Amino acid sequence: MTSKIIGVGSYLPSEIIPNSFFQNHHFLDENGKELMQNNAVIAEKLTEITGIHERRYASENLVASDLGFFAAREAIKDAQIDPESIDYIIFAQNFGDICYGKIQSDAVPSLAARVKHQLRIKNNYCVAYDVLFGCPGWIEGVIQGHAFIRAGIAKTCLIIGAETLSRVVDAHDRDSMIFADGAGAVIIQASRGEAGIQSHTSASFTLNEKNYLDFRNSYNREDRSATKFMKMNGRKIYEFALSKVPQAMKKCLDDSGFAIHNLNKILIHQANEKMDEEIIKRFYKLYDIPVPDDIMPMIISKTGNSSVATIPTLLSMILNNELPNHQLRENDIVLFASVGAGMNINAFVYKF
């Protein structure tokens, strides 16, 4: 028994935010001092390192659960199933619903419960809950849904990843340019065929790495509101990812029984283009072979880093033929992998 993806969906917010949007931002360093470079140079360096040219922000009238609902509805339609047949709705998120212009997070009831309500599902035994696992949350949700299916307590699960990071960033922090909003979802179902999840792995590094990404005060020392914003130690995260993610990916692939030469695609969290490219190089170096062409599709240049939404959005776009240079065919072997706050790492190998 394994779990097979039978439907995908995504939602890209309509508001496209180019790098020029930040032209008049007043960027400061962590000590509250004005950055020496002008914003045009800062934006240019951002693109050079991360690959980001633009990102999407949710409309003012929408919150994360709305984005998740839109993606879930598309996944259900694609799967051609009755929503009443869903056993679990697992919603990966990190900051709850935050209304535009507000600072308070609202996650009661859970965002999964809100999506179940919006889908008008009457089945009380369709269990809805949220997963907070940093950017790897959507993969962890898939792993949990797969575990329920393997245990025989579920046949069909809806896994959603949605976030509105634009509402938790500090306007005085240049890292705010990285983050974006979006949603992606999949339906997984019990299957006795060969296609489906082949292996998975998860890890949490917390002893020394816990605060590489956390909530802190604004860099603007004149801000006395005590409001906290998402902050990250970019250098530490970069070093951590390069050190730990390739080994986790290798463990997952080796556990699957497939050889590195069988791998057709790697769908990795769209966090930072240069970092992702280096992770893939180090992963293949563990097998002492060069990186194949077109192994890692990237959409970060247009979508930014939307946390838990990046991988399901990427998957949906590929399966809907929205990335001309990338296709997934029957029997393809794909490695999904992510890293994020926690510091958490996870991966799964999937056969299409």
Q: Place 280 in a pLDDT band, splitting at 50, 70 and 90.
A: very high
**116 has a pLDDT exceeding 90:** yes
**344 has a pLDDT exceeding 80:** yes
- In this predicted model, what pLDDT tens digit does every residue of 128-153 receive, in sequence order? 999 999 999 999 999 999 999 999 99
> What six digits make up the tokens of 207?
């002893």
For residue 273, CA distances in Å to 135, 242, 246, 269, 278 come to 15, 13, 15, 10, 9
**pTM here?**
0.95
3-class SS at 101?
A: coil
Task: Please name which of 28, 31, 52 lies closest in space to residue 39, comparing C-alpha atoms.
Answer: 28
For residue 122, CA distances in Å to 114, 126, 127, 141 come to 13, 8, 11, 22
Kindly list the structural domains of the chain, giving each domain's residue range(s) and its CATH number in brackets, ordered by start. Answer: 2-193 (3.40.47.10), 198-351 (3.40.47.10)
- The pLDDT value recorded for residue 43 is 86
Q: Name the residue with higher pLDDT: 35 or 112.
A: 112
- The pLDDT value recorded for residue 30 is 87
Which of 200-212 are b and which e, b meaning 16 or more Cβ less than 10 Å from the residue's Cβ? Answer: bbbbebeeebeeb
Report DSSP letters for 4-46, one per residue: EEEEEEEE--SEEEEGGGGTT---B-TTSPBPSS-HHHHHHHH
Instruction: Answer yes or no: are the C-beta atoms of 15 and 7 closer than 8 Å.
Output: no
Greatest Cα pair distance in the chain: 61
Distance between the two ends of the chain, CA-based, in angstroms?
Answer: 15
Gap between the Cα atoms of 215 and 199, Å rounded: 33
Which of 279-302 are b and which e, b meaning 16 or more Cβ less than 10 Å from the residue's Cβ? Answer: bbebbbeeeeeeeeeeebbbbbeb
Instruction: Answer yes or no: are the C-beta atoms of 3 and 141 closer than 8 Å.
Output: no
**172 has a pLDDT exceeding 80:** yes
- The pLDDT value recorded for residue 260 is 98
Mean pLDDT of 156-179: 95
**36 has a pLDDT exceeding 90:** no
Task: Please name which of 116, 67, 124 lies closest in space to residue 90, comparing C-alpha atoms.
Answer: 116
3-state secondary structure 232-259: ECHHHHHHHHHHHHHHHHHHHHHHHCCC
**81 has a pLDDT exceeding 90:** yes
Contacts of 224 (CB under 8 A, 6+ apart): none
Mean pLDDT of 107-119: 98
